[in-house]
């Protein structure tokens, strides 16, 4: 294939590829067009670099002229989208959360219980639970595993942000004996 046929074909393929790569199927048409325009604008700048290397001056000038017109149209699309009144859009999908399995829970609990000192127990709990999600009942297992009341409060407060069922958080207070510990946990979690 000659350079005269290859580069325009490449140009069209890149533009069509940009239109399909934005993943905007569920968006409003103008939002999708704006996303496509942003992707296509990046492709146009790469194509300008390629076109500037074309040895045939006539073909190079035609390609650069075409790319300039495409860039101007992309700017028009983005301006039009920006000028439209805000309309409600769909919220992004909620991230998928996987609750810690019973086997993982038992493994973490065993590691915590093997530590002789409270600071070490909390350090193991912190590192072993990083990036994991728990039910309130699972947090209760960890709270129960702690020896001292201050450890129990620390463990519960540490795991609170990782709870998948915060509406059941009130159950954690049943694992604490003293009112002062319950008050401390309420202060630390805001619940």
Cβ count near 63 (within 10 Å): 21
State the distance between the two ends of the chain, measured CA to CA, in whole angstroms: 69
Global confidence as pTM: 0.52
Q: Classify 163 as helix, strand or coil.
A: strand
Which is it for the CA torsion 109, 112, 113, 118, positive or negative? negative
Dump pLDDT digits (tens) for 135-149.
999 999 999 999 999
pLDDT digits (tens, 9 = 90+) for 91-144: 667 667 789 999 999 999 999 999 999 999 999 999 999 989 999 999 999 999
Cα separation, 128 vs 106, in Å, equals 12
Closest CA to 122 of 101, 98, 153: 153
């Amino acid at each position: 294939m000659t350079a005269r046929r290859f580069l325009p074909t490449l140009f069209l393929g890149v533009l069509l590829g940009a239109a399909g790569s934005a993943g905007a199927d569920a968006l409003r048409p103008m939002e999708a067009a704006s996303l496509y325009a942003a992707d296509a604008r990046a492709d146009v700048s790469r194509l300008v670099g390629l076109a500037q290397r074309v040895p045939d001056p006539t073909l190079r000038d035609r390609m650069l002229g075409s790319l300039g017109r495409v860039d101007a149209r992309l700017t028009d699309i983005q301006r039009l989208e920006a000028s439209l009144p805000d309309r409600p859009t769909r919220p992004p999908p909620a991230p998928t959360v996987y609750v810690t399995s019973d086997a993982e829970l038992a493994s973490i609990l065993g590691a915590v219980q093997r530590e002789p000192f409270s600071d070490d127990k909390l350090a193991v709990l912190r590192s072993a639970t990083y990036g994991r999600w728990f039910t309130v009942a699972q947090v209760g297992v960890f709270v129960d595993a702690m020896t001292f009341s201050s450890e129990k409060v620390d463990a519960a407060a540490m795991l609170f942000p990782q709870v998948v069922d915060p509406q059941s958080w009130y159950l954690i207070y049943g694992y604490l004996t003293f009112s002062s510990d319950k008050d401390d946990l309420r202060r630390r979690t805001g619940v």
